[in-house]
Chain A
Amino acid sequence: MNPLERYAPLVDDPEAFFTACDRSLPSVVRVNTAVTTAERVAAAFDEEGVRYEPVGWHDGLFRLPDGHPGRNWPHFHGWTHGQEEVSILPGLALDPQPGDRVWDACAAPGSKTTQIAAAMDDEGTIVANDANLGRLSALRHNTERLGITNVVVTNQDARNYSTKPLAFDEFDRALVDAPCSCEGTCRKNPDVLDEWTLEHVEAVAGIQKGILTRAVRMTKPGGTVVYSTCTFAPEENEAVLDHVLDQVDCEIVPCDLPVKAVPGVTEWDGETYDPSVELARRIYPHHNDTGGFFCAKLRVDDGEVGT
């Protein structure tokens, strides 16, 4: 069975959803604003004769209709990074500022790490962690290629992360872009649907809960934690938020995204979730012609009401 069929009751137009999931995605690059501007990248593409199209909802993204995002001069200079459009959303929700201390819990291969670093003007500290040592080389390659100097790379299990090697023990912001069943990436990697099992969904949900709990605990009161996945499975999305709301002092806050998105679901498969999970955002492929995505913004409680 195609696992996407289980989501038909959640989407407004199942046929459009299935059709979009079958189409391949265009190549997209993000401008590395740590070292250059979108105007200069566009001018370089013009000189070189590389075709590109703007992405209406974000100035720093270009679609490359002829593909090959790594075979052009801006890429050689570290001015661009190939990154799927929806993948920039958690970084936008996180809204990191220069000088912040930011934890990127599951950072490899570093697309979001380097986006966050650029948003911080390469100032402050971003701690990019990944449990998988093999994947850290891709992260290292990308931070190096993009000229990022404010990153600390660590190799720990994020569920019981230790800040001992760091100069501080709490963060201003944290991103948990969690390992997941990746259904939303089916437009670039259809194999994820063949490999899908409910057992994997349930196992990975346990890991997600552990990482998000740790992220909230390590973020200072009033700080921001963003949780994101590239799956449609409520078990890995709203159910994880519901669990964490019970475990640690935090609340879900509105997450303004510059794309069409729909609220999180409060019921699934006989379970009901905290009503505030509606503030999370589901991004379906047929709404913006992108991959699928899930994104929620949490605020760590600081004892004050209504701030």
Chain B
Amino acid sequence: MKVFQNKFFLICLCIALVLCTVSTTFSLMGYREPVREVLGVIATPFRWGATVVTDAVSGFFKHFQLQGALIDRNEQLEEEISRLEAEKNYAELLEEENKRLRDYLGMKDKYPSFLLEEAMVIGSEASDYMTVFTLNRGTAHGISINMPVVVKAGVVGYVIEVGLTWCKVSTILEKSADSKGIGAYIENSGTMGVVIGDYTLEQQGLCKMTYIEEGADIKVGDLVLSSGVGSVYPADLIIGVVEEVTVDEYSRTIVANVRPTVDFSALHYVLIITGYETGDNGDYQKPVTTPPADQTTEEEDDYVPPGVGNGGYG
């Protein structure tokens, strides 16, 4: 090993060993050699400068890294927003359906004797105010003419025309030659009358209660309910609230303008009363007095027509 036997190697080895030994010994004893101390002092400003430059440069690159991260994060958040919006829309749909079903349940609770068929409003036939509209239920669903249509808020109207999968409903605001009135009474006083549509009032979203006995006690704000007299509507359905009490200038009888409790402009789902229990024996009757000839069935014949002669109102 000639390589390790020359003088230079041995001298250098000794120096290196001494340096290592002294450094390690001082270090283990917790002291710093003077040379190290001097070197450290000299190096400090350089190290400070290097650190500042490094931080600045790495900060500069970090800015771009951060920008990339922010872009990624932004994309993630946008996806998240899209997902949440979709969920929100779905939740709103569910909420609407839930509300509708609760209303339906409310109706079932409120009128346990009713046979109800839920229907969706799929069209209207009025320009300024929805007075006749179309539902997505027809004879295929057991719907027939003159069946009352209600919502939780109150009476909507009745079926005036029916097809296989659709039917048309005339609202209580509608005034036509063959429209039926509703036998009604004032909840507070028990005053009887008939609620019918009126050309003039229809535009204001009102209908009128007529055939009120003279001297009847009617006040603005009184609740008007169906009396069950007639062929179409069962008793105790909410019709509306008395908004104004006047005297007919021709007949000199009392007329009450009634604002329906139903908001016809916001109807999306309604309930068709396909039958209701009468008496104590649990029999159901259909609210139909004059079904079309082609829709009469044996089953319908089993039902007892509820009305007394309609006399022009239902």
| A associates with B | no
